[in-house]
């Protein structure tokens, strides 16, 4: 549905009043009505890097989810304030690894006598606490666009990796990009004693994958791929690495949201694409490229929006911008100093990856 013109006008006016004081970042999964007001759009990596691009901006309005706003706070100056227009915009995957569970896991690895050999690699989609744990234990953060480089780096530091919290990104990168076998990977289940693993399994594994997943991407199946190939002859299947291994293995191309956009920009006229990622992005791309005769369909019609990304809507954005324009800071995301220092270590290791 088209945006309410009154709200569009209010957002425009508030943003104009704030001028250079405000910097609006928008993740590719955001609604069109929100993306319209973003100064910069990107995947998680690009947004982490770009967050610090405007050190003069007093307010960084982050249109994305909580862990992204935390990372922006960690990577920007103390005098800059990061605002999340709706505090309920979390991420179910990030919630699957709590600080207590991860500390307990480290105890299990220590008791198995392998903690010394383990380097933690945490997906950007994790809380600041998990990033701090990662920094404290010599590890790095990664995103879907640099997971292979992060694992290459980690295996130079140690013999094993504890990959948090997305088992699919960890497995897909290890098997598809690093030539490991599925048997090199074990899954640590935080809800079971010792993660549901024997000491022997832990000692034999190269990749210890946390049992987390994305509820949106987890719904694409091998059937989704087979069905679309039967329906659209010659279709290119392009999926996000948060999809299950069997989906990624059956796809033609795999990559982050930014990669997906670049691939479609470079695609020849007349080509056909089935995209396995969040619906706001796929719809926007289908509309954008329709005039170039590129057919873009959603990989599986039963999968939909990321409900937490969608919580940031135009009314919330208007409220945040108008509050700031009136001198009132709302929904500030602020990571405490101690967590920040260790989390920053891990994030900076990622930013320094070759």
Residue 70 marked ligand-binding: no
Task: Give which of ligand 13P, ligand SF4, none residue 41 binds (C-beta under 5 to 8 Å, depending on kind).
Answer: none
Give the bridge partners for 23, in sequence order: 60
Residue 123 marked ligand-binding: yes
Q: Residue 171 Cβ, how far from ligand SF4 at the closest point, in Å?
A: 15
**Burial bucket for residue 13 (CB in 10 Å: 0-12, 13-18, 19+):** middle
Distance of CA 290 to the CA centre of its chain: 27
Task: Give which of ligand 13P, ligand SF4, none residue 22 binds (C-beta under 5 to 8 Å, depending on kind).
Answer: none
Task: Give which of ligand 13P, ligand SF4, none residue 43 binds (C-beta under 5 to 8 Å, depending on kind).
Answer: ligand 13P
Nearer to ligand 13P, 125 or 224 (CB): 125
User: Within 13 A of 164's CA, how many CA atoms are on the CB side?
Assistant: 32
Residue 27 marked ligand-binding: yes
Task: Give which of ligand 13P, ligand SF4, none residue 81 binds (C-beta under 5 to 8 Å, depending on kind).
Answer: none
Residue 240 marked ligand-binding: yes
Sheet hosting strand 207-210, strand order edge to edge: 140-142, 118-123, 160-164, 207-210, 185-188
- Where would I find the H helices in the chain? 5-18, 32-35, 44-50, 66-75, 99-111, 128-136, 147-157, 167-172, 199-204, 222-231, 245-250, 257-266, 279-290, 314-325, 337-351
Q: Residue 277 Cβ, how far from ligand 13P at the closest point, in Å?
A: 7
Nearer to ligand 13P, 44 or 71 (CB): 44
Cα–Cα distance for residue pair 43/33, rounded to 1 Å: 18
Cα–Cα distance for residue pair 236/253, rounded to 1 Å: 8
**Burial bucket for residue 21 (CB in 10 Å: 0-12, 13-18, 19+):** middle
Nearer to ligand SF4, 90 or 138 (CB): 90
Cα–Cα distance for residue pair 91/71, rounded to 1 Å: 14
Q: Residue 143 Cβ, how far from ligand 13P at the closest point, in Å?
A: 5
User: Residue 198 is encoded by which pair of tokens?
Assistant: 């024997």
Task: Give which of ligand SF4, ligand 13P, none residue 308 binds (C-beta under 5 to 8 Å, depending on kind).
Answer: ligand SF4
Task: Give which of ligand 13P, ligand SF4, none residue 186 binds (C-beta under 5 to 8 Å, depending on kind).
Answer: none
Nearer to ligand 13P, 160 or 171 (CB): 171
Question: Would you call 329 helix, strand, or coil by DSSP?
Answer: coil
Residue 306 marked ligand-binding: yes
Q: Residue 243 Cβ, how far from ligand SF4 at the closest point, in Å?
A: 11
Q: Residue 90 Cβ, how far from ligand SF4 at the closest point, in Å?
A: 8
Q: Residue 29 Cβ, how far from ligand SF4 at the closest point, in Å?
A: 6
Q: Residue 248 Cβ, how far from ligand SF4 at the closest point, in Å?
A: 15
The candidate with the shortest Cα–Cα distance to 145, out of 2, 235, 15, 259, is 259
**Footprint of ligand 13P (CB under 6 A):** 28, 43-45, 125, 143-145, 214, 240, 242, 256-257
Cα–Cα distance for residue pair 124/311, rounded to 1 Å: 20
CB neighbour burial string for 85-96, b if at least 16 within 10 angstroms, e if fewer: bbeebbbbbbbb
Residue 257 marked ligand-binding: yes
Nearer to ligand 13P, 221 or 256 (CB): 256
The backbone torsions φ and ψ at residue 282, rounded to the nearest 5 degrees and listed phi first, read -65, -40
**Footprint of ligand SF4 (CB under 6 A):** 29, 65, 91-93, 125, 214-216, 278, 306, 308-309
Annotated binding residues for iminosuccinate:
27, 44, 123-125, 144, 240-242, 257
Annotated binding residues for [4Fe-4S] cluster:
91, 214, 306
């Amino acid at each position: 549905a088209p945006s309410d013109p009154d709200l569009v006008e209010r957002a425009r006016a508030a943003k104009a009043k704030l001028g250079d004081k405000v910097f609006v970042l928008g993740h590719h999964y955001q609604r069109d009505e929100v993306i319209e007001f973003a100064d910069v759009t990107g995947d998680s990596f690009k947004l982490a890097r770009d967050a610090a691009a405007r050190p003069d901006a007093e307010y960084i309005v982050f249109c994305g989810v909580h862990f992204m706003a935390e990372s922006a706070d960690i990577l920007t100056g103390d005098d800059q304030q990061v605002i999340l227009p709706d505090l309920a915009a979390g991420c179910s995957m990030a919630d699957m690894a709590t600080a207590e569970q991860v500390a307990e896991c480290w105890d299990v690895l220590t008791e198995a006598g392998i903690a010394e050999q383990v380097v933690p690699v945490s997906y950007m989609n994790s809380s600041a606490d998990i990033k701090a744990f990662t920094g404290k234990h010599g590890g790095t953060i990664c995103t879907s666009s640099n997971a292979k480089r992060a694992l290459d780096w980690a295996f130079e530091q140690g013999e094993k990796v504890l990959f948090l919290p997305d088992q699919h990104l960890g497995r897909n990168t290890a098997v598809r990009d690093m030539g490991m076998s599925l048997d090199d990977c074990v899954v640590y289940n935080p809800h079971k004693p010792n993660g549901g693993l024997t000491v022997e399994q832990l000692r034999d594994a190269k990749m210890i994958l946390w049992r987390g997943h994305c509820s949106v991407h987890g719904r694409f199946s091998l059937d989704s791929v087979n069905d679309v190939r039967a329906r659209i002859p010659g279709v290119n299947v392009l999926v996000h690495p948060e999809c299950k291994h069997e989906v990624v293995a059956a796809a033609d191309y795999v990559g982050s949201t930014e990669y997906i956009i670049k691939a479609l920009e470079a695609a020849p006229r007349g080509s056909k694409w089935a995209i396995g990622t969040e619906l706001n992005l796929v719809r926007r791309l289908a509309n954008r490229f329709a005039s170039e005769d590129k057919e873009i369909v959603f990989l599986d019609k039963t999968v939909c929006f990321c409900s937490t990304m969608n919580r940031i809507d135009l009314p919330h954005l208007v409220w945040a911008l108008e509050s700031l324009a009136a001198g009132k800071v709302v929904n500030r995301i602020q990571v405490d100093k101690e967590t920040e220092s260790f989390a920053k270590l891990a994030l900076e290791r990622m930013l320094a990856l070759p």
